Amino acid sequence: MQRFVNDPSMAVEDMLVGFLKSHGDLVEGTENPRVLKSRTAPVKGRVGIVTGGGSGHKPAFIGYLGRNLVDAVAVGEIFSSPTAKAFYDAFAAADGGAGVACLYGNYAGDNMNVKMARELAEEDGIRVMTVVANDDVPSAPKGEEKKRRGVAGEIFMWKAGGAKAALGGSLEEVIAAAQKAVDNTRSVGVGLTPCTIPAVGKPNFAIEPGTMEVGIGHHGEPGIAVTDLTSADEVAKSMVDIVLPDLPFKEGDEVAVLLSGLGATPVMELYILYGRMAALLEEKGLTIHRSYVGNYFTSLEMMGATLTVMKLDDELKELIDFEAESMGLTQFGR
């Protein structure tokens, strides 16, 4: 294993040490070593934004802690849900008295732990409402959207929810905005190589050289098809062709686009893909209002990329354009 680790079972702990040292201007630890919070949180009277999930997706999830984004994060083992206790402590860390919006991805473990944490929080008088991201198109057929997992589209959900909270939205309004972001967002992933959890020591799936797995999940969940690895332009087209018909996105729509690497793909190649994707979207009559290209939501050292497209209306445009400051995403207002 060509990896920088000490004791592989302590990889998450060791990573958190470095993260806190490096980004102490934005984030801080809490009493629970598996809960990090934004330095700006909680703000009295403002809805708190909480997320959480397994580790191995840097900058997600802790990289989105910061101003007008996420207030507290529950940190899990690699690819494994945080505990109910961590979610509960994150709710407490984010609560400014106006309730907490827990915005997370659709995975069995996260669903259970959030459910238990929410019951604990309610006993303590903290109001918690949830939005569950399910943007990954290939993970379940149309009509069964509730079964789909959440992937990089979660970033748009946090962005919308965080901005709405910063604008003074009530818990119901923040939840509605985050849900609207999810409902208008679709994603697809393509994997070129597998990834290895350090404590396991070997990849638990394979992608043969010369092939690619279309629809792969960002823990390596198998996709819908294994095909020959073709040119970047052709890969770009097949990804766009999966995402656009599902919502569907139509001529005249304004969109935000996020193309994230899965960890080991050179950013240069993401731009090669993006150039073609942008051209294809424009050919279909879509207007790209904002785009993000880089490693926004990764899967350890997997090679591959996730394309995420969100359809915008005036409200979502305002929220996506709202200024924000975090390790993973910093932008100035427009």
Partner 1 sequence: MNSFANRDGAVVVREMIRVIGENRAYLSEIDGAIGDGDHGVNMDKGFSLCLSRVDWETADFTTAMKTLSRILLMEIGGSMGPIYGTFFDQIAKGAKDRERIDGSAFSAMLGSAASEIEKLGGAVRGDKTLLDSLLPAVEAFDASFEETGDFAKALTALQAAAEEGRESTRDMVARVGRASRLGERSRGVLDAGATSCCLLLNSMAESVKELLKEE
Interface with partner 1 (CB under 8 A): 9, 54, 76-86, 107-109, 112-113, 115-116, 139, 147, 149, 197, 199-200, 204, 217, 219-222
The DSSP code sequence of 39-75 is TTPPPTTS-EEEEEEEESSTTTTGGGBEETSBSEEEE
Distance CA 262, CA 189 (A): 9
In whole angstroms, the minimum distance from the beta carbon of 197 to partner 1 comes to 6
In whole angstroms, the minimum distance from the beta carbon of 233 to partner 1 comes to 28
| Bridge partner list, 293 | 259
- Tell me how far apart the 2 most distant CA atoms of the chain are, in Å: 55
Q: Residue 219 catalytic? A: yes
In whole angstroms, the minimum distance from the beta carbon of 157 to partner 1 comes to 20
CA torsion, points 281, 285, 291, 295, in degrees to nearest 10?
Answer: -20
Residue with smaller CB distance to partner 1, 38 or 139? 139
Alpha helices per DSSP H over 39-186: 84-94, 108-123, 154-166, 171-183
For helices 232-243 and 267-283, give the axis angle rounded to 10 degrees. 50
Give the residue among 327, 245, 316, 324 at the shortest CA–CA distance from 286: 245
Residue with smaller CB distance to partner 1, 111 or 331? 111
Q: Where do we find the tokens 């062709």?
A: 241
Residue with smaller CB distance to partner 1, 214 or 324? 214
In whole angstroms, the minimum distance from the beta carbon of 331 to partner 1 comes to 32
Residue with smaller CB distance to partner 1, 85 or 237? 85
Residue type for 127, please?
R
The residue from 23, 57, 218, 289 that is catalytic is 57
Residue with smaller CB distance to partner 1, 87 or 296? 87
In whole angstroms, the minimum distance from the beta carbon of 77 to partner 1 comes to 7
Q: Residue 57 catalytic? A: yes
Distances (CA, A) of 143 to 140, 188, 289: 8, 17, 28
Q: Looking at the annotation, which residues are catalytic? A: 57, 219
